[in-house]
Chains A and B, each alone.
Chain A
């Protein structure tokens, strides 16, 4: 990086950081108490619905008194802040940060559900749904960047995947063929990115931007020119949820986790699979070596360029699936620019998740939660502008890349072309 990135000595910075976080926690505690606790009507209760529609085991709603609950949460948060300020948590910093975030969200929910009833299961179901395309995008990013190729074209790959999935599934009547088509097209776009950036050594950011613009232009053009004239090509069958017997009857968890469409299950499997592959197998060791120190990989006989081609194309395939989900697993039709930046949020989730599949998945859940909550709150008429909640993922991402929250360390050779001398 540039010399501008020279950081201050970590010793003193570590201390200042610890204190800074302590103050942030205290401030959040104050917000919970004042904005969430004191703002509720005295004696009001917050009610959380815990049942999905049509489930066997019905649970009673969780009803808590709004203000006292918020104050209790604020107290816990303040306690953590005080400990952080005085002693610090050392290695458990990340856990504490997570806990504080959860406390804050809980406080917010108590406030939002005050005098109302909020369906928590619905919010969480929505979270998973909305996290799915982000996760696929993030996995695509992980595969590319672990091998040292920055892929900002994931947005374009999602969009193209969505378009192709819609057309292919409509034309053949089979959503499965739609998915396959999306995978193929994702791979083709990724191959283009790989050829441009690896073979022609076009800057990876520029190559990615080209593909994004191309994807937006092409899908918009074709949807206006072809799909409007032939609406039957934009009417695919959707892949509905598959209830997993028994497991889906578990209260709360069942309807959230075990009643999803095939994309979500595939996501679960892929997250674990790719995580294990990256960190526990020969393939993964080699990929990571290529992303960290390509020359070192080369000198032990690993084909750096081939590894990069392979990973970029694999990433493109995953992005294609993510695009297919948007149509076949979600809306059921293609719309212009329907990805709305999910590819970029996927990249953000990847960074937030520390360039690891499991981390990226949890980061995607955070983003999905903000999105889902926003949708739920606007239904409930909670007096908070949905735009503010919609900004959360982007702002969080900026804080993460700035190193203000968490510590992100990119593969050392990420974004750098490799050239044999």
Chain B
């Protein structure tokens, strides 16, 4: 994403703050608008309410408000919990109650973890001028490799077993990212088509693997892998909350820092970005564009592989064919929302993690399907990708941005 000049003229601190604020305004409005439209969807998809609007609009309006409030209330409660409970538990000195009140946040962070990895993957690809639609498939390959190491080798000490499993997960994803990178560099095959196809190949591959004796849990007929042994499992981050956030989050944050360094402070990142912005000039300057593309895609794949890794080693402890509810596709939204900056991706992942975490309680409390958050996410990307829509809606003057960058340079060779 070159929509924002990556390092504008160094202005004074105040102007920097203003620019930063302006930078946040658009995403904030995009999210707000998406949530408002989401509310509209909630109301309009209730046949009873729609009927009521014809009979008694005032009552219908009230009922709509109640329904939306209940849904979004449950969403928020399920994602960040009730601050009052936290303060109360803290005041009473009740540690157990405090931990219990942390539970929603813990779930949010847990859901954010794979999103951070996958978002970083797509963001790094964007920076390198590549479209990684294949984060989903890379995630599965990473999960497959990680789970294999995770259930094999019982008896290894955790400080060897965990790094080994994580490395395997990175490798699995990297392999799946290497293929489109290699094909693009050597034959010019467009990575969008190749990564989409590899997603489907990955699904089938997982189905196939989970039917083999190597992976399938003994005594089971359905596609489910053996359990990851304790020494390879990522332990919970909050003691007392076994099901929530785990050490995968820490790895994700480290990954974000590493990607940030890699992109903006390392020679490899210089190459990635140069190739991303102008491959021709990069080649003239002596950068091996082919190798850069391959390396970038492999690293992207590895990052997405870590998303699957953290799921199988942390949250699930096993691999099933429906492991990811589309993290790889959310990742595209995350990278856009986070402007392809690692910190931005982390922030966006926290938001989407909260949406995902709150969606289940929302469905339980109000019967509104969790798929609502997918709709909201799609709307968020749309508004982020077409800022003119939001600007028009809120009558904001366009900033001095250069407009949307063109990523796709056509198919074929």
How far is A247 from B165 in the complex, measured between Cα atoms in Å?
Answer: 62
Determine whether B338 belongs to the interface, using a CB cutoff of 8 Å to chain A.
Answer: no
**B194–A398 contact, CB under 8 A?**
yes
For the A-B complex with A4-B283, A351-B193, A395-B197 known, give 12 more contacts whose Cβ atoms are closer than 8 Å.
A203-B406, A211-B378, A213-B378, A214-B374, A214-B378, A214-B379, A221-B371, A225-B45, A387-B208, A394-B201, A409-B412, A416-B406
**A348–B275 contact, CB under 8 A?**
no
Instruction: Kindly report which residue of chain A lies nearest to residue B329, judged by CB atoms.
Output: A213
Contacts of B151 in A (CB 8 A): none
Q: State whether A221 and B208 are in contact (beta carbons under 8 Å apart), knowing that A209-B329, A210-B385 are contacts in the complex.
A: no
**A391–B201 contact, CB under 8 A?**
yes
Determine whether B146 belongs to the interface, using a CB cutoff of 8 Å to chain A.
Answer: no
Contacts of B131 in A (CB 8 A): 205
Q: State whether A348 and B289 are in contact (beta carbons under 8 Å apart), knowing that A3-B283, A398-B183, A417-B406 are contacts in the complex.
A: no
**B197–A348 contact, CB under 8 A?**
yes
**B205–A391 contact, CB under 8 A?**
yes
Contacts of B282 in A (CB 8 A): 3
Q: State whether A3 and B205 are in contact (beta carbons under 8 Å apart), knowing that A210-B381, A230-B47, A417-B406 are contacts in the complex.
A: no
Contacts of B97 in A (CB 8 A): none
**B378–A2 contact, CB under 8 A?**
no
**B385–A225 contact, CB under 8 A?**
no
**A196–B382 contact, CB under 8 A?**
yes
- Pairs A–B under 8 Å by Cβ, sample size 22: A2-B293, A4-B185, A4-B283, A200-B389, A203-B385, A206-B332, A206-B385, A216-B374, A217-B375, A217-B376, A220-B369, A220-B371, A225-B369, A347-B193, A394-B204, A397-B193, A397-B197, A401-B183, A401-B412, A402-B187, A403-B187, A410-B411
User: Nearest-CB distance from B133 to chain A (Å)?
Assistant: 7
**B45–A1 contact, CB under 8 A?**
no
**B375–A221 contact, CB under 8 A?**
yes
How far is A390 from B367 in the complex, measured between Cα atoms in Å?
Answer: 36
Determine whether B333 belongs to the interface, using a CB cutoff of 8 Å to chain A.
Answer: yes
**B412–A1 contact, CB under 8 A?**
yes
Leading 10 A-B pairs by shortest Cβ distance: A217-B374, A5-B188, A410-B412, A214-B378, A224-B369, A221-B371, A217-B375, A2-B279, A220-B371, A402-B189
| Chain A residues proximal to chain B, CB less than 8 Å | 1-5, 7, 145, 150, 152, 196, 200-207, 209-214, 216-218, 220-222, 224-226, 229-230, 341, 344, 347-348, 351, 385, 387-388, 390-391, 394-395, 397-398, 401-404, 408-417
Residue-wise, chain B 185-219 has the 8 Å CB interface mask toward A (1 for contact) of: 10111101110111011001101100100000000
- A202 touches which of B179, B369, B404 (Cβ 8 Å): B404
**B413–A394 contact, CB under 8 A?**
no
Contacts of A398 in B (CB 8 A): 179, 183, 189, 193-194, 197-198
Interface residues of B in 368-388 (CB under 8 A from A): 368-369, 371-379, 381-382, 385-386, 388
Determine whether B84 belongs to the interface, using a CB cutoff of 8 Å to chain A.
Answer: no
Determine whether B403 belongs to the interface, using a CB cutoff of 8 Å to chain A.
Answer: yes
**B410–A413 contact, CB under 8 A?**
yes
Instruction: Kindly report which residue of chain B lies nearest to residue A343, judged by CB atoms.
Output: B196
Looking at chain B's contact residues, the main secondary structure is: helix
Contacts of A385 in B (CB 8 A): 208, 211
Determine whether B409 belongs to the interface, using a CB cutoff of 8 Å to chain A.
Answer: yes
- A203 touches which of B283, B374, B407 (Cβ 8 Å): B407
How far is A230 from B46 in the complex, measured between Cα atoms in Å?
Answer: 11
- A225, A390, A417: residue with the most chain B Cβ atoms closer than 10 Å: A225
How far is A416 from B405 in the complex, measured between Cα atoms in Å?
Answer: 11
**A394–B332 contact, CB under 8 A?**
no
How far is A128 from B381 in the complex, measured between Cα atoms in Å?
Answer: 37
- B372, B376, B410: residue with the most chain A Cβ atoms closer than 10 Å: B410
User: Nearest-CB distance from A317 to chain B (Å)?
Assistant: 22
- B408 touches which of A214, A229, A390, A415 (Cβ 8 Å): A415
Q: State whether A4 and B289 are in contact (beta carbons under 8 Å apart), knowing that A209-B133, A221-B371, A415-B410 are contacts in the complex.
A: yes
**B184–A4 contact, CB under 8 A?**
yes
Determine whether B336 belongs to the interface, using a CB cutoff of 8 Å to chain A.
Answer: yes
How far is A351 from B193 in the complex, measured between Cα atoms in Å?
Answer: 10
How far is A416 from B371 in the complex, measured between Cα atoms in Å?
Answer: 33
- A2 touches which of B129, B367, B377 (Cβ 8 Å): B129
How far is A200 from B382 in the complex, measured between Cα atoms in Å?
Answer: 11
Instruction: Kindly report which residue of chain B lies nearest to residue A347, judged by CB atoms.
Output: B193
**A387–B205 contact, CB under 8 A?**
yes
**A402–B192 contact, CB under 8 A?**
no
Instruction: Kindly report which residue of chain B lies nearest to residue A148, judged by CB atoms.
Output: B410
B interface residues, how many (CB within 8 angstroms): 70
How far is A222 from B369 in the complex, measured between Cα atoms in Å?
Answer: 8
Instruction: Kindly report which residue of chain A lies nearest to residue B405, judged by CB atoms.
Output: A203
Contacts of B329 in A (CB 8 A): 209, 212-213
How far is A413 from B411 in the complex, measured between Cα atoms in Å?
Answer: 9
Determine whether B19 belongs to the interface, using a CB cutoff of 8 Å to chain A.
Answer: no
Contacts of A397 in B (CB 8 A): 193, 197
**A213–B381 contact, CB under 8 A?**
yes
**A214–B412 contact, CB under 8 A?**
no
- A402 touches which of B194, B333, B376 (Cβ 8 Å): B194
Contacts of B194 in A (CB 8 A): 398, 401-402
User: Nearest-CB distance from B224 to chain A (Å)?
Assistant: 16
**A206–B369 contact, CB under 8 A?**
no
How far is A413 from B352 in the complex, measured between Cα atoms in Å?
Answer: 35
Q: State whether A414 and B411 are in contact (beta carbons under 8 Å apart), knowing that A385-B211, A391-B204 are contacts in the complex.
A: yes
How far is A258 from B326 in the complex, measured between Cα atoms in Å?
Answer: 41
- A152 touches which of B192, B289, B373 (Cβ 8 Å): B192
Contacts of B69 in A (CB 8 A): none
- B41, B129, B204, B404: residue with the most chain A Cβ atoms closer than 10 Å: B204
**A213–B293 contact, CB under 8 A?**
no
**B381–A206 contact, CB under 8 A?**
yes
Residue-wise, chain B 392-404 has the 8 Å CB interface mask toward A (1 for contact) of: 0000000000011
**B187–A395 contact, CB under 8 A?**
no
**A206–B336 contact, CB under 8 A?**
yes
How far is A20 from B275 in the complex, measured between Cα atoms in Å?
Answer: 32
Contacts of B275 in A (CB 8 A): 2, 4
How far is A398 from B134 in the complex, measured between Cα atoms in Å?
Answer: 13
**B204–A205 contact, CB under 8 A?**
no
**A394–B200 contact, CB under 8 A?**
yes
Determine whether B73 belongs to the interface, using a CB cutoff of 8 Å to chain A.
Answer: no
**A401–B190 contact, CB under 8 A?**
yes
How far is A202 from B409 in the complex, measured between Cα atoms in Å?
Answer: 13
How far is A409 from B367 in the complex, measured between Cα atoms in Å?
Answer: 49
**A221–B183 contact, CB under 8 A?**
no
Q: State whether A226 and B47 are in contact (beta carbons under 8 Å apart), knowing that A344-B197, A385-B211, A416-B409 are contacts in the complex.
A: yes
Determine whether B16 belongs to the interface, using a CB cutoff of 8 Å to chain A.
Answer: no
Contacts of A230 in B (CB 8 A): 47
- A5, A202, A212, A222: residue with the most chain B Cβ atoms closer than 10 Å: A5
User: Nearest-CB distance from B76 to chain A (Å)?
Assistant: 19
User: Nearest-CB distance from A73 to chain B (Å)?
Assistant: 27
Contacts of B382 in A (CB 8 A): 196, 202, 207, 210, 214
- A404 touches which of B184, B187, B378, B385 (Cβ 8 Å): B187
Determine whether B235 belongs to the interface, using a CB cutoff of 8 Å to chain A.
Answer: no
User: Nearest-CB distance from A88 to chain B (Å)?
Assistant: 21
How far is A226 from B49 in the complex, measured between Cα atoms in Å?
Answer: 12
